[in-house]
Amino acid sequence: MQRSTGLLLVTALSLTATAACGSGEPATPSASGGAKAVSITVACQPAKSAPKERQAWDDDVATFMKEHPGVTVKSTDQQPCFDPKTFGPKLAGGQMETAFVVPVTNYADVIAKGQALDITPYTSVIKNWNDLRADHKELVTKDGKVYGVPNVHYSVGLVYNRALFTKAGLDPDNPPKTWAEVREAAKKIAGIGPGYVGFGEYSGGNTGGWHFTQAIYGRGGDILTPDNKKAAFNSPEGKAVLQTLHDMRWVDNSMGTKLLVGWESLMVAMGSGKVGMMLGAPDVVTDVVNKFKGNVADYGITGFPEAKASLSGGEAFMINPKATPEEAKAALAWIDFRFNTVGKGRFDFARGKSIGNPVGVPDNAVYGDSPTGQALQADRVKNATLPVANYESYVQAAGTIPPKAEPMHAQELYAILDVPMSGVLSRKDAGIDQLLADAETKANSMLAAKG
């Protein structure tokens, strides 16, 4: 009896382990009453630090479940919704949500690896499917099969702090249209006093390379050659991007002294109200206000300076490849209800207004100019809490500037391009030609290795 104690212990351990293993499996639908009961998990519940938003989400879940008896919706609030670190493992471990969000950067990868369900048969669940931007739908389609529901679409502009413009003696209704004007304005804003930054820019954690891409696209340059085989950023446009940043940082001293690493760093700075301008899409305004305590009325957005093209960004909902057809349909119904219905869920602008959201920011062009898009825009303007005029110049510019998708192997390239960005922002004597040439060599060898 005594000798079995150790055995018992290990059996207990392994039993618990297997039990835990079992609980990780997706819940099997069980028949109850007439309708088949389905349980789905959905990603992107707003974090606890945004209580009103979270409440709105929870209300939507309750409404949805009432309208769809038999469907149980569980939410997860991991932030950010898509974390590349946990994505593969969660899927492998059976813990991935039924409906999850993928940023445009990762579409190709996720689809190629078979990590998203082919939803071609179910697209009709999304009632406004035909009104979604065709060019974005193209991105979630491979070999004629659809793998996602485009959720957000935007192009990059120039976000600026109107209050700081006024404080620096600039006209907030007449934001800079050229890089020379950006430099001038940045200098004036930095001149307000210590701690003020005219123009904020990233330099690490892959965000530096990402913003370099925004900037070089805007100037008409490119990251890769059209056949995606060689790097194309060691060009006059690439040099101009770095030269401008270098001069603003070291000649004008208008970019502050701190290197910004990772997405949150610049957002916090922007939210603190001491940064004058940054490259960004309208969602920056929403995030700065909702997550980083920025003052809604302070932020404006205008078209990208001297724009020739604009990096388009966004995200799509995709469905767990292990989901059953019932689960997939239920999840798409949720996506339809919460994210794609005029006047409901996230497009319930009246509610947004009542809980103090910055309504009026044109932060999502996923429906473009379609009838749905126009209805959304009308509704948005009707309930606007912000002077919509603050964004008018962006909307006009966005209509005329051609959108441009992210390059292949975006994350690998962004890591490589972090180096020249951090170079010009951290070293006064940085050799721009050398930095670009080095990055080009690295990118070419990376591209060769990836085939």
CA distance 408 to 131: 27
Among the listed residues 55, 130, 228, 426, the single contact to other proteins using CB under 8 A: 426
Q: Which of 65, 268, 297, 355 binds other proteins (CB under 8 A)?
A: 268
Beta carbons within 8 Å of 240's beta carbon, 6+ residues apart: 179, 219
CA nearest to 348, candidates 50, 63, 16: 63
Q: By CB under 8 A, is residue 408 in contact with other proteins?
A: no
Cα 220 to Cα 404: distance, rounded to the nearest angstrom: 10
Element counts in the chain: helices (H) and strands (E): 17, 14
Question: 199 has which bridge partners?
Answer: 277
Of the candidates 5, 28, 30, 400, which one interacts with other proteins according to CB under 8 A?
A: 5
Closest to other proteins by CB, 158 vs 416, is: 416
| Region of 14-22, 239-247, 369-377, 378-386 interacting with other proteins (CB under 8 A) | 14-22
Q: Which of residues 81-140 bind other proteins (CB under 8 A)?
A: 83-95, 109, 113-115
User: How far apart are CB 46 and other proteins at their closest, in Å?
Assistant: 12
Q: Residue 43 or residue 216: which is nearer to other proteins going by CB? A: 43
* Sole binder of other proteins in the list 33, 34, 144, 194 (CB under 8 A): 194
9 membership: H or E segment, kind and range: helix 4-23
Residue 376 CB, shortest distance to other proteins, in Å, is: 29
Binding mask 60-79 for other proteins (x = CB under 8 A): ----------------xxxx
Residues 6+ apart with CB under 8 A from 337: 60, 63, 64, 67, 344, 345
Q: Is 402 in the site for other proteins (CB under 8 A)?
A: no
Q: Which is nearer to other proteins, 382 or 427 (CB)?
A: 427
The answer to whether the CB of 91 falls within 8 A of the CB of 59 is: no
Secondary structure letter of residue 241 according to DSSP = H
Coil, strand or helix at 151:
strand
Cis amide bond preceding 80, omega within 30: yes
What's the distance, CA 305 to chain centroid? 21
Q: Which is nearer to other proteins, 114 or 387 (CB)?
A: 114
Q: What is the closest distance, in whole angstroms, from the C-beta atom of residue 231 to other proteins in the complex? A: 11
| Cβ proximity to other proteins, 401 vs 416, nearer residue | 416
